[in-house]
Structure 1
């Protein structure tokens, strides 16, 4: 299956460098604003208009999913809306989350790519059809990983 990566390739070193991290990482929860696909046994969390992934390094919420009904522009200088069209379905790539390293890179997901998508800003992207196949394949009784090389 074809995947695309960061605009500048592989080798993430800091927030905003447009690189996908090199290495082997555990996969976290799957999520999306779409209905959980039939046959998915892996944990799936519904994203709402009140869900964000914080990518502002100076925030205590850095590299975390946060649910808030407040105005996100008044809380953080930078964040991802988890209702983004490419996040209809996604899986968290657990990059620098234990421990979190402020400024090291955040919001790294396996998410949907459209036919016109040529690169990501650090994530890994595959077609929606293939992503749903992966989500159905993921086994919650194991500790699935993704290995990123390049």
Structure 2
């Protein structure tokens, strides 16, 4: 009787193995499969994943389409996000990094452009600002201004910030610009004392420079920001919005 019971249990396990195997296989390739849903010639993405929606730490990975197939091009790199985590309903000053999929088309920094950089790069100085004054027509824009900024805006960021030696602009709330929805979202450098950001994604300088050298406008680079367990739904939502 005992022998028959053991045989029955083994039979059930053997019958379930294909199911477990297919689920494991699907999980291991799910990101690449979901990336294939992206349209419009998007062939390069930076994926930023946090353990939970309120986490401050993130893993950053670069994926690129090669011969029609999505593959991991570089990773996994350590990153930081907003002090209050990430959110798909970001607001100005909430300390959260926007969740979603956004294009990467421009960059800037106080340091010289890294050799081999293809994405447009602006070397900034003390006269460059990013405006987060919700009452200003300049809201969420880079502005060059030689006068006293306090006479022009109620709130702004100086782009000579020590963590802006290199920065890639995340095109969040840019088309159209909605006042109060959040501004000045970058992928920028960090140092050893950086524990979180106020809404950006921060990485060590070497990794930001590497991304600047690898991002290619011809591949229409984008950034995907999401909890690790929700990457698929984040990509699907964006793919559903694409025309």
| CA–CA separation in structure 1 for the residues paired with 2:122 and 2:141 | 14
Q: Which has the higher helix share?
A: 2
Is the 8 Å Cα contact of residues 91 and 181 (structure 2) preserved in structure 1? yes
| CA–CA separation in structure 1 for the residues paired with 2:141 and 2:119 | 20
Where in structure 2 are there 5+ consecutive unaligned residues?
1-76, 228-243
Is the 8 Å Cα contact of residues 105 and 217 (structure 2) preserved in structure 1? no
Give the C-alpha shift of residue 142 in structure 1.
2.3
Aligned: 1:51 with 2:128: yes
Structure exhibiting the larger radius of gyration computed from Cα positions: 2
Aligned: 1:10 with 2:82: no
| CA–CA separation in structure 2 for the residues paired with 1:47 and 1:75 | 19
| CA–CA separation in structure 2 for the residues paired with 1:117 and 1:134 | 20
Give the C-alpha shift of residue 28 in structure 1.
2.8
Residue 111 of structure 1: aligned partner: 188
Moved more, 133-142 or 56-65: 133-142
Q: Which has the higher contact order (CA 8 A, sep 6+)?
A: 1
| CA–CA separation in structure 1 for the residues paired with 2:124 and 2:99 | 27
Is the 8 Å Cα contact of residues 90 and 97 (structure 2) preserved in structure 1? no
Aligned length: 150
| CA–CA separation in structure 1 for the residues paired with 2:157 and 2:121 | 18
| CA–CA separation in structure 2 for the residues paired with 1:113 and 1:60 | 30
Q: Which has the higher strand share?
A: 2
User: TM-score normalised to the size of structure 1?
Assistant: 0.97
User: TM-score normalised to the size of structure 2?
Assistant: 0.61
Where in structure 1 are there 5+ consecutive unaligned residues?
none
Moved more, 93-102 or 41-50: 41-50
Residue 98 of structure 1: aligned partner: 175
**Runs of 4+ with deviation above 4 angstroms:** none
| CA–CA separation in structure 2 for the residues paired with 1:102 and 1:91 | 22
Residue 141 of structure 1 aligns to a residue in which SS?
A: helix
Residue 37 of structure 1: aligned partner: 114
Give the C-alpha shift of residue 141 in structure 1.
1.4
